[in-house]
Amino acid sequence: MEGVRDPREELAELVPYDAKGIKAEVVLSANEHPSNVPTEIIDRLSERLESFDFNRYPDPTAHKLRELIATANGLDAANILVGNGGDELLFNILLAWGGPGRKLLDMPPTFSMYAIDAQVTGTEVVSIPRMPDFSVDSDAVLDRLAQGDIDIVMISHPNNPTGGLTSETLLIDVLEATDALVLVDEAYFEFSRHTMRPHMQRHPNLVILRTFSKAFSLAGLRVGYLLGHADVIREIMKVRQPYSVNAFSQWVAATVFRERVVFQQAIRELIRNRDRLLHGLSDMDGVEVFPSEANFVLFRVEYASALWRDLLHGHSVLIRDFSRAPGLEDCLRVTVGSEKECTKFLEAMREVLSARRESQIMTGVAARATEQGE
Ligand SMILES: *Cc1c(COP(=O)(O)O)cnc(C)c1O
């Protein structure tokens, strides 16, 4: 027989994810940590690499890592689930709580994986757009939850890509308004230093997502985790791939977590650099900056796509262009890098902005000259 029959209809609108692998000297596009894992940790790992059992299957429940995370959060191992990056856990949540006939409440613009995972799992997406300042439309969200048919709520806290936190009062109102599973995505917790962890006891529908990809320099190893009630964690465990978190990643993540105080200084420095970016961008004419509690800054500027290209091609600085995303017209997002990278970015921004302004003035002069018949 020739050809292949169509896959599921829901996939028709989806486009496979491809980060395009654009090369640049200064990469500030993916909210990664600017530095590798500290050498003292790499040295410790290297010493034991030879005796590492590459031939053995990983521990499916990552019990060592879970124990460490549980202890640090005043919880039991039964409250922790480790995944192949936070992304896998989001997908698992949708497999367990979503699916055909079920609904996710999404608050765009936000992390795009929520809606994509919903689509892949056949979950209906109910979107309540954020306000113009990107805060959650609390009345609309609470009204919608009152209808009682939402199965999952996902809130990025702080919100990627806009940067702000949602007020704790509103998050509590959401938890009280619904028995839906409420995922508070704390992927940037180490930078925002705000967590809903204290509310877990009272709210069995609260699950918290964290990751090793941002503050702990491990984006390449894919490790994230959930904090939640044991019953909820158990349900999510039913849908997961038993060996999704490989043994090497478990080992490195456990070592990094044990040594996490070593990362504190770099985190403080990134927070300082974030404030430099916020101030530096606010000082530029025509740039509107949104407050951020994460390791990135969103800003709005005219001709955003053209500026994005000028930064890349003229200065080898790669940031993220969101200007074609709904609700993010003319918006660009820059990841907080090292002090040197932030300086390079701010200088490049000043140059591309003034070059563009000059070329506009020139165009204006030329246009007037033409009008006057010169
Ligand atoms: C980065 C990020 C994650 C998870 O990233 P992983 O690398 O898969 O752990 C989850 N949510 C948000 C909002 C993020 O920005």
Asked if 180 and 245 sit in the same domain, the reply is yes
Q: CA triplet 79, 80, 82: central angle to 5 degrees?
A: 160
Q: Say if CB 224 and CB 196 are below 8 A apart.
A: no
163 and 254 part of one domain: yes
Radius of gyration from C-alpha coordinates of the chain = 23
258, 282, 304 — which closes off a domain? 258
pTM for this predicted structure: 0.95
DSSP tag of 212: S
CA angle at 285 for the pair 282 and 288, rounded to the nearest 5°: 50
- Whether residues 165 and 121 share a domain: the answer is yes
Q: Quick check: CB of 219 below 6 Å from ligand 1?
A: yes
Within this chain, do residues 235 and 274 fall inside the same structural domain, yes or no?
A: no
Query: Closest Cα to atom 15, ligand 1: which residue?
Result: 160
Beta carbon of 85 within 6 Å of any ligand 1 atom: yes
Q: Tell me which of 236, 258, 280 is where a domain ends.
A: 258
Distance 326 CA to ligand 1 centre (A): 20
Whether the predicted pLDDT of 6 surpasses 60: yes
- Tell me the per-residue pLDDT of 43-89, one tens digit each, with 9 for 90 and over: 999 999 999 999 999 999 999 999 999 999 999 999 999 999 999 99
Question: What ranges in 109-167 are assigned the alpha helix state H?
Answer: 113-120, 138-146
Q: Is 158 in the pocket of ligand 1 (CB under 6 A)?
A: no
Residue 341, domain CATH: 3.90.1150.10
Q: Which atom number of ligand 1 is nearest to the Cα of residue 156?
A: 13
CB 301 within 8 A of CB 307: yes
> Could you read off the pLDDT of 79-117 as tens digits, one per residue?
999 999 999 999 999 999 999 999 999 999 999 999 999
Q: How far is CA 304 from CA 69, 179, 312, 327, in A?
A: 41, 41, 12, 14
Asked whether the bond before 109 is cis by omega within 30 degrees of 0, the reply is yes
- 221: tokens are 């190893």
Cα 356 to averaged position of ligand 1 atoms, centre (Å)? 34
How many Å lie between the centroid of ligand 1 and the Cα of residue 87? 6
251 with 267, same domain? no
